Amino acid sequence: MWTRNTPGRTRWIVLGAAALWMLLGAGVGELPMARAAHLTGTFEVDEFFRFLHKFGFQKTEKHSQKDTEWDTFGYIYGNITSSVNFTVPVTLAVLDKRSFLEYYANRNDYDRDVACQRMFEKLDKIVYSRACNPHAEADYLRRIPCEPGKLCVDEDTQENVVPGSQFTFVISDPNVPRFWYVSMVACYQNVSTCQWHHYDYRKYHPEPPAINYDITLVNGNPNRQTLSFFNPLLFHFSFDQQNTLEMYLIFFVVYLLMVPLQIYAVRLQKHPVTRLFTVSLVLEFVSVCLLLTHTVRYAMNGVGDEKLAIMGDIFDIFSRTSFMLILLLLAKGWAVTRLQISVSSWILLMVIWIPYCAIHVLLYIWNRTEVDIISDIDEYQTWPGWLVLACRSTMMLWFLWELRTTMKYEHSSQKLDFLLHFGASSLVWFIYLPIVAIIAVNVSPLWRYKLLLGITNSADCLAYCVMMGLLWPNRAGQYLLLTGTNFAGMDELDEFNEAPHIVHRDSDTLHSSNGDLAIDDYLDNEDDEIETLVLSTDDLLHTGSSYAVGSGSGSGGGSKPLSLHNGSALNGGIGKGGRSFD
Ligand SMILES: *[C@@H]1O[C@H](CO)[C@@H](O)[C@H](O)[C@H]1NC(C)=O
Ligand SMILES: *[C@@H]1O[C@H](CO)[C@@H](O)[C@H](O)[C@H]1NC(C)=O
Ligand SMILES: *[C@@H]1O[C@H](CO)[C@@H](O)[C@H](O)[C@H]1NC(C)=O
């Protein structure tokens, strides 16, 4: 009997998951960590070009005035120094998308001198320069590094600079919120010819000189953040991520209510589906906690804790995929119309589900490492993204097919009703993501992040609520087969036996109320169908350790097999789980 091996198999699965988890844990350190609004680092000029940050600045309020409480300008300020004296300064560029794209596209020219000229060709016409373009308006460039303890050469008055910093860009756009792109490049303009050239350090220095930077990007005036006007939900956040803190806070509160309720429910009614669901819910709760912690820290210092954020995202992925596993298992009729699933079905399920998890994680890593931040695409516009959506849609079709098969052989109207409701709500859950991903393509990237985050989190939260309602102990007893909890509920088992797809069953023994007989069978006959039936569902999910939990509480539930050893305990156990059938 294959079920005999299941505890061992489960152990392997658990071990595999643990190994995967450790790999991921190690991998977290490798992922790039540059999503903060407070940037510190070192730029070595032999690197030629360094993209620093993309930041969304909010739309400036009409009555907004600089240095008032209502200042809604965007500010970029900080220090840029070097311990080496540069012969000529290189360039810090803060550009909006229009001017940035061409500048960025030309950075890779093999001849660096040509690259510099091309990058600044268009910009030269619009950017202010005291020597070469004194009538232009746009103030996009700074010559760096600046002399320690002094303002940068391009800053003319102290008033325009945020105290304690060497340079300040003030960003205002009364019409629309906009992304701005901060970068450094080893190019300089010869003030006598107005030509751009590559700063070839080999001519002046034995080693590539390093430039240290400490730059902060904020929405709102950093000087005027008095307590009453300081808005921590907006200040450090790029426009596309403003107010995400509230969102996480709301979900945190919702899950804070749901998790204890569900833990109460799972203690009341021990059932593998309920347990798997609890695991999924707890994973989601942990994920929200981690993300909330990161976001709160980010709101305070503009840096946050990127490791927590990555862990949170990965917990979220595992929570969602395990939820999908529950849906697939229920659609197969597991614990609803049958207590065990054939080994081939399990293999098929795992062969599809495990790669699905893997692709999901791959998409996440890909999205963080490979996707060019300039490109403005979200995770579902990359090929792993499409792959995940395709997999999800395929799983949905499979889910429907399984559900149809299950319903065809089900006669109990309560169960049919359950399956119908369950199927409909699951279908909504399956289908929403592809639809949202398609809609998101047409949404401005300034709004897309919040849209995707809000919709996916709300939909998942709703799905958890619905599932929690469906699996709530009193209701669930009407349609879920509760392993071993209730042998008095024979009508349930009779229906079960009538189902044509259940072949070969030793129903005589099943109906025997003689505990001793069952125990004898259990001890003597390795191939007995009944105790396989009793053992199976639980074993699939829980290895030996969980039995202790079940027997300790003494309230019956899915851990019944232990009580078989107590002789008369089988009869004793009959009434206990019966509350579910009231
Ligand atoms: C850089 O220049 C300043 C003044 O021009 C001088 O005082 C300083 O010693 C120089 N530093 C180095 C490392 O050459
Ligand atoms: C930036 O430079 C100013 C003056 O040069 C100094 O007072 C300030 O502490 C520096 N700030 C940082 C964050 O290094
Ligand atoms: C700038 O151009 C002038 C004229 O061609 C040249 O004499 C000077 O050395 C150049 N300066 C730099 C820093 O390259």
68 CB near ligand 1 (under 6 Å): no
Residues 75 and 205 in one domain: yes
**pLDDT, averaged across the chain:** 77
pLDDT value at position 318?
A: 94
Please give the helix or strand (H or E) that residue 211 lies within, else none: strand 210-219
190 CB near ligand 1 (under 6 Å): no
**Is 502 within the bounds of a domain?**
no
**Is 32 within the bounds of a domain?**
no
The closest-lying atom of ligand 3 relative to the alpha carbon of residue 191 is 1
CA-closest residue to ligand 1 atom 9:
85
Residues 377 and 471 in one domain: yes
CA-closest residue to ligand 2 atom 7:
164
**Is 500 within the bounds of a domain?**
no
pLDDT at 234 over 90: no
The closest-lying atom of ligand 2 relative to the alpha carbon of residue 79 is 1
Residues 458 and 316 in one domain: yes
pTM, two decimals, is 0.77
Residues 147 and 183 in one domain: yes
Domain end position, chosen among 477, 502, 531: 477
Task: Kindly state the average pLDDT of the residues 126-131.
Answer: 87
Residues 250 and 186 in one domain: no
Lowest mean pLDDT among 53-67, 409-423, 468-482, 563-577: 563-577
161 CA → ligand 2 middle, Å: 12
Max Cα separation, the chain?
A: 105
pLDDT value at position 144?
A: 87
Task: Kindly state the average pLDDT of the residues 7-26.
Answer: 53
The label of the residue with tokens 């098929």 reads: 348
pLDDT tens for each residue of 198-223: 999 898 889 899 999 999 999 888 87
Percent of the chain at pLDDT exceeding 70 = 74
The token duo for 208 is 């590539």
Burial of 400 (0-12, 13-18, 19+ CB in 10 A): middle
Helices (H), 499-554: 507-511, 515-524, 529-541, 545-553
CA-closest residue to ligand 2 atom 9:
164
**Is 564 within the bounds of a domain?**
no
Number of C-alpha atoms within 13 angstroms, CB side, residue 393?
9
More confident residue, 402 or 224: 402
Of 520, 421, 528, the residue nearest 470 (C-alpha): 421
CATH of the domain at 364: 1.20.1070
Residues 270 and 394 in one domain: yes
Domain end position, chosen among 477, 501, 533: 477
507 CB near ligand 1 (under 6 Å): no
Structural domains counted in the chain: 2
pLDDT value at position 559?
A: 32
- Highest-scoring range by mean pLDDT, 14-28, 59-73, 478-492: 59-73
pLDDT value at position 189?
A: 92
**Is 488 within the bounds of a domain?**
no
Residues 193 and 63 in one domain: yes
The token duo for 543 is 């290895």
More confident residue, 534 or 326: 326
Percent of the chain at pLDDT exceeding 90 = 35
pLDDT at 388 over 60: yes
Structural domain of 206: 38-219
**Is 225 within the bounds of a domain?**
no
More confident residue, 580 or 305: 305
pLDDT value at position 69?
A: 62
pLDDT value at position 49?
A: 93
Q: For the residues of 411-455, what is the DSSP string, one character each?
A: --HHHHHHHHHHHHHHHHHHHHHHHHHHHHHTS-HHHHHHHHHHH
Residues 88 and 199 in one domain: yes
Residues 248 and 357 in one domain: yes
Q: What Cα–Cα distance (Å) separates residue 541 from each residue in 59, 338, 536, 538, 546? A: 53, 16, 9, 6, 9
Nearest ligand to the CA atom of 192: 3
pLDDT at 526 over 80: no
Residues 131 and 60 in one domain: yes
**Is 102 within the bounds of a domain?**
yes
Residues 303 and 437 in one domain: yes
Name, in order, each residue with C-beta under 8 angstroms of 329's C-beta and a sequence gap of 6 or more.
Answer: 273, 276, 335, 341, 349
pLDDT value at position 31?
A: 52
**Is 71 within the bounds of a domain?**
yes
Domain end position, chosen among 439, 455, 477: 477
Residues 178 and 274 in one domain: no
